[in-house]
Amino acid sequence: MPLPDAVVEPLAETAHAKINVALHVRGRRDDGYHALESLFAFAEDGDRITGEVTDDGAIDLLVDGPFGSGLEAGPGNLVVRAARGLQAYLGEQRGAAIRLTKNLPVASGIGGGSADAAATLRLLTRLWDVRIESEELAALALDLGSDVPACLGSVTQFVSGRGERLARHVLADLDGRPILLVNPGIAVSTAQVFAGWDRVDRGPLDAGSLEGLIAGRNDLEQPAIAVAPAIADVLAALGQRRGVCLRRMSGSGATCFALFDTQGDCSDAANAITAAYPGWWTMETRIRSA
- Of 18, 45, 116, 219, the catalytic one is 18
CA atoms within 13 A on the CB side of 171: 25
Mean pLDDT of 220-237: 98
**Average pLDDT of the segment spanning 270-280:** 98
- 184: number of Cβ within 10 Å: 23
- pLDDT at position 32, please? 87
Beta-bridge partner residues of 269:
none
What is the residue-averaged pLDDT of the chain?
95
Query: Does 134 score more than 90 pLDDT?
Result: yes
Q: How distant is the alpha carbon of residue 9 from its chain centre?
A: 25
Q: Give the active site residue among 47, 116, 147, 265.
A: 147
Percent of the chain beyond pLDDT 70? 97
Structural domain boundaries of the chain? 178-286
Which DSSP string do the residues of 21-46 spell out, in sequence order? EEEEEEEE-TTSPEEEEEEEEEEEEE
Q: Is 147 a catalytic residue?
A: yes
| pTM for this predicted structure | 0.95
**With 70 as the cut, is the pLDDT of residue 5 above it?**
no
18 is catalytic: yes
Can you name the CATH fold of 178-286? Alpha-Beta Plaits (3.30.70)
* Residue 58 CA: distances (Å) to CA of 13, 62, 133, 134, 150: 20, 13, 24, 25, 27
